[in-house]
Chain A
């Protein structure tokens, strides 16, 4: 019978955030400074040494959860030694300095830019380091005779930011930048014409009541008309061109009615100016163009972000590889430059950069990124490995069989691209409404004109028609949806929920089917020690023997125990057998840690009481690691990947909203079943629990469920294996803890890593849809009432001109007051 089944008191551990990266870490209660790893400890020390402690204060002000990972692999900086080979363009400047633009990984918040830019004076030869958050790049200006980008990169790697060659599709990048500038130019010029048109309009209205001379009125009319015509010809040209394209290709487009109204406006303005009678509307024409250009710029921004994410997605391929050269040396090259037949070396802890088979060494490989398998797979010579997985135990030599786009991950990336292009086209609610709105207004204007001409003559009829055209405000209607969405997206970002595609919020409002990945989504995605049976001494000795071994189990044990205490113990003759366990002498005591078979192999006998504990652990799908000292069983660890703390509560709330839940995992079916059963016991209605799914299977299930189910099909997941499925789903949500590329594949990224955010998102999207509907209703009522009054001839064009911006303002205020993500909204 084991002597103690309770945990020893002095080893009680709590989960506390790492001081540097904020990662929840098991630490002893008495520990004052908690670090998740030595890297974080080093980074913390370095930052203090440089007097940059403000980093932590700043970070908590902006982002309580801090960085995703504390440290990056310094060796990656080696890729920047040979800038030509890495494809980096160096600009030489006239004063002898050089400038390069590089991609930065690990950039998260304000504190990151602050820290990086404050590092500049501490690096000799570095003249300036400017971070650009929008595309996560940095521009380094340095003196080439005093430093090199590789040196700077090593320095930054020490504090957790890795620099890599910036994958520029340079034409493409420059093209988007140019287009973005064109949008700003359009808005600025349209604003100029609108503002000037408006004050000339005011002068005319004022002159009407005070009695203005005819020649002045003529002059003002002609100048105003000229401004409106210029507005149509320059900023408004975009609409005319797309409309012309649409007419030529005979595809209906929202720009056709817009262009028609613009042309009618121009003709009317010129005719009005020539006649010198009736009411002017060149000011409305110019402001219409201004508002339309703003709407277009917002739309472009959203699309630009999508394309940016895709190029960041492909940046994965810029991970580095160490290639063995024929002369026996190794050279660090970008992974996308590897060719079939190349030999590469992969150290433990590194990502395998390409598909291939092992020619030397044996190790274990963490494939959770690719298939969600929570246990590492053991590999030996001749076994094939897949790029994107992580080598864990010892160094490997690999012969490349497929790299870059030809590799499995590369093909997966293609799937992601396909899925994103198959998504329903981005149609703003504005387009749907304004399409018919313009026609209705045109029709009403025609009816008004004809009726009033018959009743009271052309002059009166034109005046009433102008009033109608002025007061009709499609802008308020058109701006409502983008405004409400923009407000919600901004608030969501403050909660660290990044939403790339605003349409997602609309889709999440109605309940549908929600698929959840298991490893890393419902669970934390890493093995932890859940329980320990045994005494203190055995625990210390087990930790001592596992120290320095790169294996998830060893790391889990290290995180569970207090490494300070075992550090004084001397360990010798440590031997690590993959997939079995570890043996070694701790203080001359023969310590064996590992599986039951490994202990038996080392001549340890088991009592029935111990085996009963193991049997019970197995029924809960926990794995067991035994500890024996001098041939005696002294304790056992129960390990597993536990459910997230907020999982049960969140799922319960989501299903209360009417969503149907399903689990979709790459892990073994029985493990998924056990998880589903335990969730059902907690009162969560899990409809499907499907295991053993390859990325392609997941994609197929999502596609099928999309066509079958009522309501939207949403998916929460992480990892490369989910990327295609996330992109295919109506709403894909990537949760932190997975790989970066999945985050870029999904339109929603839960940067705060909380599953509860899924529920928050659903509540928020209901508020958003309510808010949009309210704005639409207000706008429609306004237009219905005002159009009726205008048709009846009760509204003077001057009043119409005042009312139009007021209606726009009302919609704007209503949009701002939407409850989505605000503090008062209950999740």
Chain B
């Protein structure tokens, strides 16, 4: 039994969990507004 049979599904599982996290972020609305955050970043630089 080669290590490949464990390593490959494990790698896919790890990648898959990252995908699930990403999908969760999308569904929670993080990507709904891509315009404002870019503008806010600029604002923070000159915060009094």
Which residues of chain A have a CB within 8 Å of any CB of chain B?
Answer: 51, 54, 57-58, 61-62, 109-110, 113-114, 117, 131-134, 177, 180-181, 184-185, 188-189, 192, 195-196, 200, 216, 219-220, 223
Contacts and interface: CB of A to CB of B under 8 A. Distances in A.
B12 A58 contact: no
Contact of A58 (B11, B33, B35, B43): B43
Contact of B22 (A131, A188, A195): A188
A231 B43 CA distance: 40
Given A58-B42, A132-B33, 16 more contacts: A51-B48, A62-B42, A117-B43, A133-B35, A134-B34, A134-B35, A181-B26, A181-B27, A181-B31, A181-B32, A184-B26, A185-B26, A189-B19, A192-B15, A196-B12, A216-B4
Contacts of B48: 51, 54
Contacts of A216: 2, 4
Contacts of B23: 185, 188-189
Nearest to A192: B19
Interface string B25-48: 011010111111001101100101
Nearest to A110: B39
A113 B31 CA distance: 19
Nearest to A182: B26
Interface residues of B, number: 27
B36 A134 contact: yes
25 contacts: A54-B46, A54-B48, A57-B46, A58-B43, A61-B42, A113-B39, A114-B40, A133-B39, A134-B32, A134-B33, A134-B34, A134-B35, A134-B36, A180-B31, A180-B32, A184-B26, A188-B22, A188-B23, A189-B23, A192-B16, A195-B15, A216-B2, A216-B4, A219-B8, A220-B8
B6 to A, nearest CB: 12
B28 to A, nearest CB: 10
Contacts of A200: 8
Nearest to B27: A181
A114 B43 contact: yes
A145 B7 CA distance: 59
A189 B46 CA distance: 38
B30 to A, nearest CB: 9
Which 3 pairs between the two chains have the least Cβ-Cβ distance? A133-B35, A110-B39, A114-B43
B5 to A, nearest CB: 7
B36 A113 contact: yes
Nearest to B48: A54
B36 A131 contact: yes
A69 B10 CA distance: 59
- Chain B interface, >50% SS class: helix
A177 B32 contact: yes
A61 B26 CA distance: 32
A325 to B, nearest CB: 40
A177 B27 CA distance: 10
A196 B19 CA distance: 12
Nearest to A112: B39
A181 B33 CA distance: 11
A49 B39 CA distance: 25
Contacts of B16: 192
Contacts of A117: 43
A271 B35 CA distance: 46
A805 to B, nearest CB: 20
Given A189-B19, A216-B4, A219-B4, A132 B36 contact: yes
B48 to A, nearest CB: 6
Contacts of A219: 4-5, 8
A196 B13 CA distance: 11
A216 B18 CA distance: 26
B46 A188 contact: no
A216 B6 CA distance: 12
A62 B36 CA distance: 14
A113 B33 contact: no
Contacts of B46: 54, 57-58
Contacts of B42: 58, 61-62, 110
Nearest to B47: A54
A571 B37 CA distance: 53
A113 B33 CA distance: 14
A223 B8 contact: yes
Contacts of A192: 15-16, 18-19
Nearest to B34: A134
Contacts of A110: 39, 42-43
Given A58-B43, A192-B16, A192-B19, A184 B33 contact: no
Nearest to A61: B42
Nearest to A186: B26
Nearest to B4: A216
A131 B25 CA distance: 20
A54 B5 CA distance: 60
B8 to A, nearest CB: 6
A117 B47 CA distance: 12
B8 A188 contact: no
Nearest to A109: B39
Contacts of B33: 132-134
Contacts of B26: 181, 184-185, 188
Contacts of A185: 23, 26-27
Nearest to B45: A58
A804 B28 CA distance: 35
A680 B15 CA distance: 68
A497 to B, nearest CB: 17
Nearest to A54: B46
Contacts of B2: 216
A188 B24 CA distance: 11
B2 to A, nearest CB: 7
Nearest to B11: A196
A99 to B, nearest CB: 14
Contacts of B12: 196, 223
A85 to B, nearest CB: 29
A180 B40 CA distance: 22
A91 to B, nearest CB: 15
A410 B32 CA distance: 31
A307 to B, nearest CB: 16
Contact of A184 (B8, B31, B39): B31
A185 B26 CA distance: 7
A261 to B, nearest CB: 25
Contacts of A57: 46
Contacts of B40: 113-114
Most chain B CB neighbours (cut-off 10 Å) among A109, A114, A177, A216: A114
A158 B30 CA distance: 32
A62 B34 CA distance: 18
Contacts of A188: 19, 22-23, 26
Most chain A CB neighbours (cut-off 10 Å) among B39, B42, B46: B39
Contacts of B19: 188-189, 192
Contacts of A62: 42
A196 B15 contact: yes
A185 B23 CA distance: 6
Nearest to B18: A192
A767 B11 CA distance: 46
A31 B2 CA distance: 85
